């Protein structure tokens, strides 16, 4: 079997797997979120371990299956939020150039920077969510209906639950801006985790072209991310769709800098006797109080970099 035929077959299998995961996630169950989050894995594995052709075929196959099984709209939403970003990330991960071109060792290969892959993940999430929001007509009316359903569900489970008109209005205003922010942040983390797991699977299979990246020392947002986050903050003060896009940017790039902050904490505590205690305390405090997120956000903001992985010489930070 030729390489092209193998890529086609792998792409078809990956597309079927991704489609089954996404269709199954549409059925209400306790596993829905896990299935939806795992849907990018088959496309990532096909692209990382085989070729761009395999990931492209996987995206097309999955869209066709989802379109027939559900609706064409669902297929498009899956494509812009999950399938296409996964194929793009896999493509970037396999890009490399001769290391000597950038002052590296003779005969080595410098791979596409992890920091640039990270900012591409954030950018893909923003584009996908904005496109879906525009298609769905996301806005005050949409959120009002959503909150009304949410409140009715609470009242159904607790007959004594009551909300004043002012509290209900505040809840709707909060959800209007919180939903795009939280969804963008979660989806960036999901795609990053999917890339990490898929890379590990492909390495174990022996098909990985790219060596293992050292996340603590390399997971950073480049300086361009600072401008994207600043633009989001500025846009958030504008009413309407511009403000909602701003909050989406804040969620996607803000969580990028927070993740960078945690990576910095992991890197700087290496070799320290109390490393485990410090890291567990940091994670626990973040989960309980959420306030430490601001610390890690600023830690990530003040340590922006573009780092390279060079085959044969390990992590090689470059400005």
Alpha helices in the chain (DSSP H): 3-25, 32-38, 40-49, 52-69, 72-78, 84-93, 114-136, 140-157, 165-205, 215-218, 223-235, 241-268, 275-289, 292-301
Quickly state the pLDDT bin for 1 (edges 50, 70, 90): low
- Tokens (6 digits) for 171: 């809840």
**Is residue 117 packed enough to be buried (19+ CB in 10 Å), middle (13-18) or exposed (0-12)?**
buried
Task: Give pLDDT, residue 94.
Answer: 93
Task: Give pLDDT, residue 312.
Answer: 60
Indicate whether 314 pLDDT > 60: no
Task: Give pLDDT, residue 68.
Answer: 94
Across 77-86, 142-151, 193-202, 239-248, least confident range: 142-151
Across 19-33, 126-140, 200-214, least confident range: 19-33
Q: Where are the domains of the chain?
A: 95-318
Task: Give pLDDT, residue 25.
Answer: 83
- Kindly state the average pLDDT of the residues 280-284: 93
Q: Distance between CA 310 and CA 85 in Å, rounded?
A: 24
Task: Give pLDDT, residue 316.
Answer: 42
- Kindly state the average pLDDT of the residues 262-282: 92
Is the entire prediction scored with pTM above 0.85? yes
- Tokens (6 digits) for 284: 């626990």
Indicate whether 105 pLDDT > 80: no
Indicate whether 150 pLDDT > 60: yes
Task: Give pLDDT, residue 247.
Answer: 96
Those residues whose C-beta lies under 8 Å from the C-beta of residue 311, and which sit 6 or more positions away, are 96, 99, 108, 109, 110, 111, 211
Across 38-52, 140-154, 175-189, least confident range: 140-154
Q: Distance between CA 251 and CA 128 in Å, rounded?
A: 13
Q: Distance between CA 44 and CA 192 in Å, rounded?
A: 11
The proportion of the chain whose per-residue pLDDT surpasses 70, expressed as a percent, equals 95
Indicate whether 315 pLDDT > 60: no
Nearest to 25 by CA among 11, 41, 10: 41
- Tokens (6 digits) for 306: 């573009």
* Pairing label, strands 306-310, 109-111: antiparallel
Instruction: Identify which has the larger pLDDT, 5 or 101.
Output: 5
Task: Give pLDDT, residue 99.
Answer: 78
- Kindly state the average pLDDT of the residues 86-106: 86
Instruction: Identify which has the larger pLDDT, 133 or 312.
Output: 133
Q: Distance between CA 75 and CA 66 in Å, rounded?
A: 5
Q: Could you count the other beta carbons within 10 Å of the beta carbon of residue 170?
A: 12
Average pLDDT of the chain, as a whole number: 89
Contact between residue 281 and residue 289 where contact means Cβ atoms under 8 Å apart: no
Q: What are the tens digits of pLDDT across the range 180-194?
A: 999 999 999 999 999
């Amino acid at each position: 079997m030729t390489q092209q035929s193998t890529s086609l077959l792998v792409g078809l299998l990956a597309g079927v797997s991704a489609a089954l995961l996404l269709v199954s996630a549409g059925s209400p169950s306790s596993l829905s979120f896990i299935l939806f989050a795992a849907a990018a894995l088959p496309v990532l594995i096909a692209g990382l371990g085989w070729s761009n052709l395999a990931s492209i075929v996987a995206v097309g196959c999955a869209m066709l299956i989802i379109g027939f099984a559900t609706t064409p709209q669902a297929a498009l939403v899956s494509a812009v939020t999950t399938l296409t970003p996964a194929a793009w990330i896999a493509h970037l991960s396999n890009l490399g150039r001769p290391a000597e071109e950038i002052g590296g060792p003779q005969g080595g290969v410098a791979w596409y920077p992890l920091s640039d892959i990270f900012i591409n993940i954030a950018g893909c999430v923003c584009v996908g969510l904005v496109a879906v929001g525009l298609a769905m007509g996301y806005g005050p009316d949409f959120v009002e209906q959503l909150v009304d359903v949410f409140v009715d569900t609470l009242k159904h489970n607790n007959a004594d639950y009551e909300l004043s008109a002012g509290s209900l209005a505040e809840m709707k205003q909060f959800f209007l801006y919180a939903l795009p922010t939280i969804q963008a942040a979660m989806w960036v983390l999901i795609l990053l985790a999917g890339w990490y797991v898929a890379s590990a699977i492909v390495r174990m299979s022996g098909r990985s072209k790219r060596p293992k990246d050292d996340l603590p020392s390399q997971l950073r947002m480049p300086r361009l991310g600072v401008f994207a986050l600043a633009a989001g903050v500025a846009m958030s003060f504008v009413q309407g769709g511009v403000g909602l896009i701003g909050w989406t940017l804040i969620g996607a790039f803000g969580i990028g800098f927070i993740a960078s902050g945690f990576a910095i904490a992991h890197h700087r505590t290496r070799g320290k006797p109390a490393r485990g205690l410090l890291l567990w305390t940091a994670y626990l405090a973040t989960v309980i109080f959420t306030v430490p997120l601001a610390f890690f956000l600023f830690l990530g903001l003040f340590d922006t970099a573009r780092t390279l992985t060079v085959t044969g010489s390990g992590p090689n930070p470059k400005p």
